Amino acid sequence: MKITTQAWETYIRRLAKLNEKAAQLIRTGLVQCDYEQIDSVSYQVKPGSVFSVRGHGKFVLSQEIRPTKKGRMFVTIQKYI
């Protein structure tokens, strides 16, 4: 996945296929990062973080975050099954 920022709202929006709802889910407490509730939309996700979206699944951010030639960040996120 290629994104322009490390704010976790972007990850959630892309993974759970949500548009405007991602920020609302974060503010209402339906999203957790490393098993803690984070209410900030601009929270910076660290490599190795596990985050879950209630009703959409649980995901882990890979250890590798590298920039692309255009300045975006290339990340690998795996979904728990």
Q: Tens digit of pLDDT for each residue in 58-73?
A: 988 877 777 888 887 7
In whole angstroms, give the CA distance from residue 60 to residue 52: 9
Q: Report the DSSP beta bridge partners of residue 2.
A: 74
Is the pLDDT score of 1 beyond 60?
no
Bigger pLDDT: 67 vs 3: 67
In whole angstroms, give the CA distance from residue 16 to residue 9: 11
Dihedral sign from CA coordinates of 62, 64, 67, 69? negative
In whole angstroms, give the CA distance from residue 79 to residue 37: 19
Is the pLDDT score of 36 beyond 90?
yes
pTM for the full predicted model: 0.72
Confidence of residue 19 (pLDDT cuts 50, 70, 90): low
Contact by Cβ (8 Å): 61, 51? yes
